[in-house]
Amino acid sequence: MELLAKMDTALLLWLNGWVAALPWLDNLIQFLASDYLVPVVLSLFILGMWFGPRSQESRMRSQRAALGAMTGMGLSSFAVAILNEFFFRPRPFETFHLHLLFYHASDSSFPMQAAAIGFGFAVGIWTANRKLGAIACVLAGLWGIARVIAGASYPSDMLAGALIGFAITNVVFLFFRLYDPFIRFILRMAQYVYLA
């Protein structure tokens, strides 16, 4: 366990060591690490999946995936909040002298909420559209890596968050398969009142 902690810290320090070497790269990292770019793009993917498909069956499949992605993302975020109540890990910038490219977050570093949310969305998108899902996975990964480089989280925080998002969203889709008639009913009701 101690070896893993040392590797985690060494990787963080190596990645953060690149900060201030290239100003344009710092700007890109800040943009990727922000609370805006990746969540907005992933939300637009979900919105497109919800309203985009024309045929009834394609629309039902895409809307089920969008509903699963939103549910998975919400439950993943909730799981991180619960874990934060029991486990507190100080942010790396509180422990080490780092070049911080992010705001001074005061919540627990472990697990990374951004990774849980990003991969919760990405898994849901993947179930309906592999190409869009692959892009979503890359964006979720970049969001997490940028936060590590920015000095806000450790690499293991990102990995734990990604696993939470992946696992919970897969459980959501297992539930959706088991209760398919109920999910179809919800989607038909949403279509009936012009929400879908």
Residue range 119-178, pLDDT digits in tens: 999 999 999 999 999 999 999 999 999 999 999 999 999 999 999 999 999 999 999 999
pLDDT attached to residue 196: 64
pLDDT of residue 94: 93
User: What CATH number did the domain enclosing 132 receive?
Assistant: 1.20.144.10
Q: Is the dihedral of CA 58, 64, 67, 73 positive or negative?
A: negative
Instruction: Please report whether residue 52 resides in a domain.
Output: yes
Q: Residue type at 27? A: N
Residue 59 lies in a domain: yes
Q: Is residue 39 part of a domain?
A: yes
User: Within a domain: residue 102?
Assistant: no
How would you write 101-114 as a 3-class SS string? CCCCCCCCCCCCHH
Q: Mean pLDDT throughout 29-40? A: 95
Q: What's the chain's Rg over C-alpha atoms?
A: 18
d(CA 17, CA 149) in angstroms, rounded, equals: 8
CB 117 within 8 A of CB 77: yes
Q: Say how many domains are in the chain.
A: 1
Assigned domain for 99 exists: no
Alpha helix segments (H runs only) across the chain? 2-16, 23-33, 37-51, 56-86, 92-95, 113-128, 130-149, 155-178, 180-192
In a domain, 62, yes or no: yes
Q: Considering the domain boundaries, does residue 101 fall inside one?
A: no
pLDDT category, 54, cuts 50, 70, 90? confident
Task: Please state, in angstroms and rounded to a whole number, the distance separating the CA atoms of residues 141 and 26.
Answer: 17
Does 76 fall in a domain? yes
List, for residues 90-125, the tens digit of each pLDDT value: 999 999 999 989 888 889 999 999 999 999 999 999
Q: Per-residue confidence at 179, pLDDT binned at 50, 70, 90?
A: very high
Please state the pTM of the whole predicted model: 0.93
Domain coverage including residue 155: 2-93+107-192
